[in-house]
Amino acid sequence: MKFLIIDNYDSFVYNIAQYLGELGVESTVIRNDKITLDQIKQNNYDGIII
C-alpha cells in the first residue's frame, strides 16, 4: 500500500509515517503547500492522511 501524508506543519506527522512503516505501508510526507491536486492524482495513492 502507498499512502500520502499531508503535512500541515504539525509536529507529529513523522510519527504517523513511522507507525505506517512499522505496518509495512509505504508513505510519502509532503507539505500542504508543496503539492497540487493534479500531482496527487498522478501518483495513485491508496490513501491520504490529512
Each domain of the chain, given as residue ranges in start order, spans 1-32
CA distances to 4, 18, 26, 38, 41 from 14, rounded to whole Å, are 12, 6, 13, 24, 22
Q: What per-residue confidence (pLDDT) applies to 19?
A: 98
Q: What per-residue confidence (pLDDT) applies to 17?
A: 97
Q: What per-residue confidence (pLDDT) applies to 25?
A: 97
DSSP strand pairing (47-49 vs 26-31): unpaired
Read off the pLDDT of residues 1-50 as tens digits, 9 standing for 90 and up. 999 999 999 989 999 999 999 999 999 999 999 999 999 999 999 999 99
